[in-house]
Amino acid sequence: MQRVAEARVVVEGEVVGAIGAGLLVYLGCARGDTEAHARALADRVLGYRVFADETGRMGRSVVDVGGELLVVSQFTLAANVEKGRRPDFGPAMAPDEARTLVDRFCALCTVRARVATGRFGADMQVHSINDGPVTFLLEEPKGGRAPSPSM
């Protein structure tokens, strides 16, 4: 996810999702991901403190500052890139399952923040003005431990 001053997604010349200040979330779904993972990640994204507080430190979340989310599904994040020079997309979740999980993640986030999205499976152009830049990779803890649901 990236902290942005603004971001938008364009598909075939049409803006399909846009936000002002907030977070641009690139969401990759891998085989084995579940609704419990989506709930835990939504809670973490919404509560992650990456915005400045009164002391100038990263002490406020996107919810605290009234920011927005732009969620872009990106199956390439689930690729295995450990060997060779070509990504292996075998670890990525099947498209129908991934669409359901991405939609669920967005619905969970909508409870606490305004959410815009790209278009699942489309060739998208993502435009953003990074704020910082501030970028973080949030993923399931190593060891395969499923996160506990919190939303």
Dump pLDDT digits (tens) for 89-109: 999 999 999 999 999 999 999
Q: What percent of the chain has pLDDT over 70?
A: 92
Domain ranges for the chain:
2-132
Per-residue pLDDT band for 141 (boundaries 50, 70, 90) equals low
The dihedral formed by the CA atoms of 58, 145, 73 and 105, expressed in degrees to the nearest 10: -80
Annotation: CATH topology of 2-132:
D-tyrosyl-trna(Tyr) Deacylase; Chain: A; (3.50.80)
Encoded tokens for 82: 């450990």
Count of beta carbons in the 10 Å neighbourhood of residue 127: 14
Which H or E element spans position 133?
strand 125-135
- Predicted confidence (pLDDT) at residue 146 exceeds the cutoff of 80: no
- What is the chain's mean pLDDT, rounded? 93
- Predicted confidence (pLDDT) at residue 20 exceeds the cutoff of 50: yes
Dump pLDDT digits (tens) for 25-72: 999 999 999 999 999 999 999 999 999 999 999 999 999 999 999 999
Q: Is 0.85 topped by the overall pTM?
A: yes
- Predicted confidence (pLDDT) at residue 145 exceeds the cutoff of 50: no
Name the active-site residue from 2, 51, 75, 105: 75
Name the active-site residue from 2, 51, 55, 74: 74
Long-range contacts of 87-94 (CB under 8 A, 24+ apart): 91/30, 91/31, 92/28, 92/29, 92/30, 92/31, 93/29, 93/30, 93/31, 93/33, 94/31
- Is 136 a residue of the active site? no
Could you give the CA distance from residue 74 to residue 50 in angstroms, rounded to a whole number? 22
